[in-house]
A and B are shown apart, each in its own frame.
Chain A
Amino acid sequence: AQTVTQSQPEMSVQEAETVTLSCTYDTSESDYYLFWYKQPPSRQMILVIRQEAYKQQNATENRFSVNFQKAAKSFSLKISDSQLGDAAMYFCAYHSYNNNDMRFGAGTRLTVKP
């Protein structure tokens, strides 16, 4: 079974600075998708960024980018120019190619200091 590990329960960043959240996963599948979701106190899960495993190019979405290392099974999220609104729980998720059974990491709580 696939497992997702987020080794940083909490992270803190100064406003306007850059922070990187770590994620590793374990799978025997060759095709899959990876996602980062954020969950603010309002509790709705919001998609931040996604990466298809077959794509070598790292995904970027404005201030958010990933460092996808398929061989190392690593999928870190970099947030540039951090804003107060980025404060939330961030979840890394593994999405199998054949179904919608997503496996989530335990989450990283990001605090942004003004």
Chain B
Amino acid sequence: KAGVTQTPRYLIKTRGQQVTLSCSPISGHRSVSWYQQTPGQGLQFLFEYFSETQRNKGNFPGRFSGRQFSNSRSEMNVSTLELGDSALYLCASATGTGNNQPQHFGDGTRLSIL
């Protein structure tokens, strides 16, 4: 069974640009969550999508948005990039939401803002 796939693995952008990151969950998984990982703030929850609907959202500005498609694939978009958005963005998928099935993580997208 293929794992969670995130593309691209690395991305370099400049301030003010926007970026879209992609996540393909494990086959059969309907929940996709996004996390931001930085040395200073650690791992922080961005949002979760389940059945194409955003179920939960962390404490991030509106520049961070996402969506989920009917095949459960998810995209995350960040607009008007700032230097502080440099981070590893991790996607995790699970069979459902709020159950005891663990989230499985992808390798992440390393975003660098110049």
Residues of chain A whose beta carbon lies under 8 Å from any beta carbon of chain B? 33, 35, 37, 42-47, 50, 52, 91, 95-107
Contact = CB atoms under 8 A, between A and B. Distances in A.
Contacts of B90: 45
Contact of A98 (B98, B102, B103, B108): B98
Contact of A100 (B42, B44, B48, B108): B48
Main secondary structure of the interface of B (DSSP, over half): strand
A105 B103 CA distance: 16
B58 A101 contact: yes
B42 A104 contact: yes
B: contact size bracket: 20 to 34
Interface string B72-97: 00000000000000001010101001
Given A100-B31, A104-B44, 8 more contacts: A45-B90, A47-B104, A99-B55, A99-B56, A99-B98, A100-B92, A101-B33, A101-B48
12 contacts: A37-B105, A44-B108, A47-B104, A91-B43, A96-B98, A99-B48, A101-B56, A102-B45, A104-B42, A104-B43, A105-B42, A107-B42
Contacts of B56: 99-101
A99 B103 CA distance: 11
Contacts of A98: 97-98
Closest 9 pairs (CB-CB, A-B): A45-B105, A104-B43, A98-B98, A101-B56, A100-B48, A47-B102, A44-B107, A99-B56, A100-B97
Residue of B45, B58, B98 with most chain A CB atoms under a 10 A cut-off: B98
Interface of B: 31, 33, 35, 42-45, 48, 50, 55-56, 58, 88, 90, 92, 94, 97-98, 100, 102-108
B100 to A, nearest CB: 6
B107 A43 contact: yes
